[in-house]
Amino acid sequence: MSIIDGIRYWALSTNATYRSINMVLQLFKKVNVRVPSTAKTLLKTERKCSTQISDIRGGQFWYGGFKRCLVNYFSTEISPSSILSLTVSIDGLPLHENSSMQF
């Protein structure tokens, strides 16, 4: 296993925050180990945001790019409702900036 694969495995298996991953990457860089500069690069985070909304039982589902998706939806909606009902679920979002507690 390469050092990059090892860091990636650690990050994913421990649900490490981007902030923690970036700190570890910077430590390796300080001792001249060639690693990616950011957590997004290490984890190969998708840069494109999806604007597709899928119908599911009980509502609709969307993943990836909140603002872009809403702007796209309402730019094509002929008569948008005055009420917007959202149910948001975010996996792994820390409750506090420096906490490992999550909901």
| Cα–Cα distance, 62 to 51 (Å, whole number) | 8
Name the residue with higher pLDDT: 44 or 30. 30
**Residue 75 corresponds to which amino acid?**
S
Specify the pLDDT at position 77: 61
Specify the pLDDT at position 38: 93
SS3 assignment, position 45: coil
The domain ranges of the chain are 3-43
Name the residue with higher pLDDT: 6 or 81. 6
First to last CA, the chain: 32
Structure pTM? 0.49
Specify the pLDDT at position 4: 94
Report pLDDT digits (tens) over 41-99: 998 876 555 667 778 777 777 666 667 666 766 666 656 566 767 666 666 555 555 55
Q: How is residue 94 annotated by DSSP?
A: B
Token code pair at residue 69 = 């998706």
